[in-house]
Amino acid sequence: MLSASWRGRLPVYIAAFAAGTLFAWVAAPLWRAGVMAWHQDEYGLLVEQCDTAMREHFQAKQSAGQSDDAKTQALLGAAEVGLIVCQDYDLTQKKLMQWGLREEELSQMRLKAIEARATDLKEVIETHEIQY
Amino acid sequence: MKFSTSHILAVAVAALIASLTTSCSEPEAQARQAAASSDTMRMEVLRRAALANGAARAADLIIPTQPARVEVGRLIFESPKMSLNGAISCRDCHLDEFGSTDGLPNAVGVGGEGKGLERLDSNGRILPRNVLPFWGRGGKGFDTFFWDGRVRKGPDGIVSQFGVKAPSTDPLVVAAHLPSVELREMVEDTPQIRDAYVAEDVSDANSIQRALAQRFADDETIGPRLLQTYGKAKSDVTFSEIADALSQFIRHEFRMRPTAFERFVFDGGPITDAQLAGGILFYGRGRCASCHTGPYFTDFAFHSVAFPQAGFGKNGFGIDEGRYNATLDPRDRFLFRTPPLHNVTRTAPYSHSGSVTSLDKAIIAHFDPLRLVDTKPMTVRERSDLYVRLGTASRETLPSALTDSEVRQLVAFLTMLEFEAVSR
């Protein structure tokens, strides 16, 4: 049996709990959105650089398979060193996870980086819209 | 209670803001970069890459010289008597304060006076190329000279405009023969000179150099030392002795010396985070080492970068076809010898025509040359020439697109290749 004073304060506790829950529910996505916005440029650049480094390494390996001259081997060596940028990418990604981002947000950031040039398409459409 | 809670809250908010901003604080980041790096994995990668690309200790590149000849060479280097009908010395264009160059985009030859801008305004004869620094010239394996490689050691001997009559088997000595007979560089271009000397014949160059050799032999200060050092009578002195003395001086004065990068690679010396990042870029995504390789950070081969052209150019009308001028092989158009990189931070401006004022821009020209030119005010002809240079450059091994911050890291790395000239 709750005492009278507890019965009097119960609505306050319920309201505080509800406010806390609401705050947590709203704040978490807001927090994640803030972290995403703050780090989009940095992370997006690393996504691009690592992707390019991996592609260049793959192509350098292909070239090395076709020719073993010193120049090709040197380029393969450079491509291997170039892959270090992927460690920067990995470390930044882990840092963002520490700050609360989940794979969903990270994939959204990667997608934004990959499709950064998509605004060009809109410009092209706007330029040529009169033709439709 | 309320008071203390609000304090705690304030401290927490302050801590949160501080933690959010520290990762982006520029001064803090700079301070971090200035301290020695502790990233052992990347340091090891850089060391291995440097060794795989031919990094060597300065001491292993030095060819010994004879002190007496070096001293005679020093006097000749600084003497305006090297100019047949003018008053210009080698030193006038190779100054200590400009990292052994003249600090100007195009060299100013005979008739020029003073240093820097004063020299540019002195009505001297403009030479269409940027003065090359002397660091490492004549060291072991440094066998290709000038922007277009017109003197080099090939598998069958010296290749130069002397043909089979090369005056020496040492390419530095052969190279030392050339400036004294270059019109506008050290010889004033007059009708008398044209009538008496200008022909496609080595014997004309020889007659100029015989006159210069006698002039030095007759000189009150240089003459006695020259004769004593080479054991010659005054009438027997030839330009070979003059060129040899000059080469001995250049080989000694501008010899390689240990750098911070040498200490890092071979002795575990310190490196900052910015230098380390720049080094990883240099040997990695920047692909710089595909041309700037070996102990002198050059492959001594010929490549194209679409630098803007400053001045009228070796071929006139603002064009310089580079290596083609030495070989007449159309495949060599717009190619230039890969510049060595020791002390490169001190030898601005950059490129074969000195058209780029800073090292940042010189690096950018390798992967984003259009950023350095405004094409709208250019004439159709100028743009057309640019397209040709871009076409040649695009066939080179291009670096990845680098950010401005990465370019600054590369510059930080290049500061590790500095050393001081301390022979005096």
| Secondary structure, 3-state, B14-70 | HHHHHHHHHCCCHHHHHHHHHCECCCHHHHHHHHHHHHHCCCCCHHHHCCCCCHHHH
Q: Per 3-state DSSP, what percentage of chain B is helix, strand, and coil (rounded to 5)?
A: 50, 5, 45
Nearest of B185, B177, B144, B165 to residue B243 by alpha carbon: B177
How close, in Å, is residue B283 to chain A by CA atoms? 6
Domains of chain B (ranges, CATH numbers): 33-60+257-417 (1.10.760.10), 63-253 (1.10.760.10)
Is residue A33 one of the residues assigned to a domain? no
B397/A75 touch (CB, cutoff 8 Å), yes or no: yes
A-B contacts at Cβ under 8 angstroms: 49
**Residue pointed to by tokens 């001293």:** B71
Of A45, A49, A75, the CB nearest to B290: A75
Is residue A22 one of the residues assigned to a domain? no
B interface with A, Cβ–Cβ < 8 A, is: 20, 42, 45, 49, 52-53, 280, 283-285, 287, 289-290, 293, 397, 400-401, 403
pLDDT at B209: 87
Largest CA distance in chain B: 105
pLDDT along chain B (424 residues), means of 10: 43 44 47 72 96 97 96 95 84 89 88 86 87 94 96 93 90 93 78 68 76 92 95 92 96 96 97 97 96 97 94 88 93 95 95 94 96 92 92 90 96 96 56
Is residue A13 one of the residues assigned to a domain? no
Of A56, A78, A85, the CB nearest to B289: A78
A75/B20 touch (CB, cutoff 8 Å), yes or no: no
d(CA B263, CA B245): 32
Which two structure tokens, joined as six digits, stand for B301?
């081969």
Backbone angles phi, psi at B36, to 5 degrees: -65, 140
Q: How many domains does chain A have?
A: 1
Interface contact A81, partner B, CB < 8 A: yes
Q: Which of residues 48-77 of A touch B (CB under 8 A)?
A: 49, 52-53, 56, 71, 74-75, 77
For residue range A87-114, list pLDDT tens digits in order.
Answer: 999 999 999 999 999 999 999 999 888 8
Angle subtended by helix axes B222-230 and B239-253, to nearest 10: 90
pLDDT at A8: 82
pLDDT at B9: 39
Is residue A56 one of the residues assigned to a domain? yes
C-beta atoms surrounding B104 within 10 Å: 22
How close, in Å, is residue B42 to chain A by CA atoms? 8
Is residue A7 one of the residues assigned to a domain? no
Confidence of residue A3 (pLDDT cuts 50, 70, 90): confident
Of A38, A45, A82, the CB nearest to B284: A82
Cα three-residue angle B287-B293-B299, rounded to 5 degrees: 110
Residues of B with Cβ-Cβ distance to A55 under 8 angstroms = none
Which two structure tokens, joined as six digits, stand for B411?
């510059």
A83/B284 touch (CB, cutoff 8 Å), yes or no: yes
Backbone angles phi, psi at B310, to 5 degrees: -110, 135
d(CA B258, CA B343): 12
ipTM: 0.70
B284/A84 touch (CB, cutoff 8 Å), yes or no: yes
Residues of A with Cβ-Cβ distance to B401 under 8 angstroms = 52
- Burial of residue B160 (CB within 10 Å: 0-12, 13-18, 19+) is buried
How close, in Å, is residue A59 to chain B by CA atoms? 13
d(CA B55, CA B267): 13
Is residue A5 one of the residues assigned to a domain? no
- Strand B302-303 and strand B144-145: pairing? unpaired
Measured distance between the N- and C-terminal CA atoms of chain A, rounded to whole angstroms: 75
A56/B400 touch (CB, cutoff 8 Å), yes or no: yes
C-beta atoms surrounding B32 within 10 Å: 13
Confidence of residue A127 (pLDDT cuts 50, 70, 90): low
- Residue to test with chain B: of A81, A91, A98, most B Cβ within 10 A: A81
Domain span holding position A90: 40-131
Angle subtended by helix axes B239-253 and B67-77, to nearest 10: 100
Contact B341, B414 (CB under 8 A): yes
Which two structure tokens, joined as six digits, stand for B169?
């088997």
How close, in Å, is residue A124 to chain B by CA atoms? 23
**Torsion angle of C-alpha atoms B419, B420, B422, B424, degrees rounded to 10:** 140
pLDDT at A121: 65
Residues of B with Cβ-Cβ distance to A81 under 8 angstroms = 45, 49, 280, 283-285
d(CA B236, CA B214): 9
Of B45, B401, B403, the CB nearest to A84: B45
Nearest of A102, A111, A108 to residue A28 by alpha carbon: A102
Residues of A with Cβ-Cβ distance to B42 under 8 angstroms = 84
Is residue A35 one of the residues assigned to a domain? no
pLDDT at A123: 67
Chain A residue with the nearest C-alpha to that of B41: A84
d(CA A93, CA A39): 10
Is residue A67 one of the residues assigned to a domain? yes
Residues of B with Cβ-Cβ distance to A74 under 8 angstroms = 53, 289-290, 293
Interface contact A45, partner B, CB < 8 A: yes
Cα three-residue angle B167-B172-B174, rounded to 5 degrees: 25
For residue A9, pLDDT beyond 90: no
Mean pLDDT of A40-60: 93
Residues of A with Cβ-Cβ distance to B400 under 8 angstroms = 49, 52-53, 56, 82
DSSP 3-state of A31:
helix
